[in-house]
Structure 1
């Protein structure tokens, strides 16, 4: 949890439920709220000129959504869409800024969160530049596991579907499936009940 739920509620946050495929905000909306997922899964995406989805991230329980845009005078550069039925805390922008100004430890956590997202974007930018599918998927898995506590082999269950991994790495889903199978044969990953362990 980026900010404790009780703290957010004490300064005016309220809970809103979203159905699967329902937008939390859309590209070019003006940021008005701090969003933090209580439960569910949310994707950040937009579409390129050809109409193909560009997936930027998938966020889960306890993670915040789109907070970096609250510090700018502009609009959201991406869409935030619920992937599952989701319960989200919403705090008005002005109350969020006041909370950060009066709580330096919370401000530091938000800075860490934004820095982590920027690092993720940098890693993903490097992944897109390579033409080796295994290198792309391995770089994604290395990054995801780097923020996981347990570093033992096969201790990390990848939270993404093959389609989501394909969208994140710029590969087609068929290539992603074949590459993951090759990685399993090379003992880089294990697959149990269709879940990828790294």
Structure 2
């Protein structure tokens, strides 16, 4: 959690969202900093042919939208809830005032932005591959690394096959076939329809 919940609630407003509800749209100018209290949010965009590309999926305690505030540019993607979500938003100027008064908070935001950039660099390396196995394994490696779980099949993948496709640029059918191939090669284990890596 970047901003302490008590501070966030004293300065911001709580918003309740249903699943699949837009929080902001691509090309809108930023008016708020957002932090998830509970739920899941995806940052996405759509290709020319209408296929969704998911940039990331965020959960409890994670923040989004601050990069557009600092850049003073419109959002390059949409933010949409995946599940029922409770989100606190701070108006842009209040957010900038709070950050300006608290150097430790600015340090946490820089670290968060750096982690996002690191994720983008890691995923670009895998997404340029023509191999679906390389793309999916790269995604799984990154997700597992953030959980500190080093043992084989110790990490339950928190994504649907469709979400994995949207994150890697693959169609869902390709993800399904690739996961089955990876199971045969003992790279993943499937238990009750859930993928363990």
- Whether TM exceeds 0.5 here: the answer is yes
- The match for 2:158 is 159
Q: 1:150-196 CA distances to partner (integer Å, 9 max, x unpaired)? A: 32222222111100101111111111111111112222111222221
Q: Partner of 1:46: helix, strand, or coil?
A: strand
The root-mean-square deviation of aligned C-alpha atoms, in Å, is: 1.2
- The match for 1:90 is 89
Cα drift, residue 149 of structure 1 = 2.3
- Once residues 59 and 81 of structure 1 are traced to their aligned partners in structure 2, the CA distance between those partners, rounded to angstroms, is 10
Q: 1:18-71 CA distances to partner (integer Å, 9 max, x unpaired)? A: 111111101111101110111111111111222221211111111112221110
- Once residues 178 and 4 of structure 1 are traced to their aligned partners in structure 2, the CA distance between those partners, rounded to angstroms, is 43
Q: Partner of 1:90: helix, strand, or coil?
A: strand
* Unpaired runs of at least 5, structure 2: none
Count of residue pairs the alignment pairs up? 197
Q: Partner of 2:167: helix, strand, or coil?
A: helix
Q: Partner of 2:3: helix, strand, or coil?
A: coil
- The match for 1:6 is 6
User: Are the equivalent residues in 1 in contact too, given 2:189–2:196 (CA < 8 A)?
Assistant: yes
- Once residues 24 and 193 of structure 2 are traced to their aligned partners in structure 1, the CA distance between those partners, rounded to angstroms, is 32
- Once residues 160 and 39 of structure 1 are traced to their aligned partners in structure 2, the CA distance between those partners, rounded to angstroms, is 17
Q: 1:111-169 CA distances to partner (integer Å, 9 max, x unpaired)? A: 11111111111122222210111111111111111111232222222111100101111
Report the TM-score when normalising by structure 1.
Answer: 0.94
Q: Partner of 2:45: helix, strand, or coil?
A: strand
- The match for 1:105 is 104
Residues 1-198 of structure 1 mapped to structure 2, 5 A cutoff: 1-10=1-10, 12-198=11-197
User: Are the equivalent residues in 1 in contact too, given 2:17–2:86 (CA < 8 A)?
Assistant: yes
Superposed structure 1 runs of 4+ greater than 4 Å apart: none
User: Are the equivalent residues in 2 in contact too, given 1:22–1:81 (CA < 8 A)?
Assistant: yes
* Unpaired runs of at least 5, structure 1: none
Report the TM-score when normalising by structure 2.
Answer: 0.95
- Once residues 94 and 39 of structure 1 are traced to their aligned partners in structure 2, the CA distance between those partners, rounded to angstroms, is 24
User: Are the equivalent residues in 1 in contact too, given 2:32–2:65 (CA < 8 A)?
Assistant: no
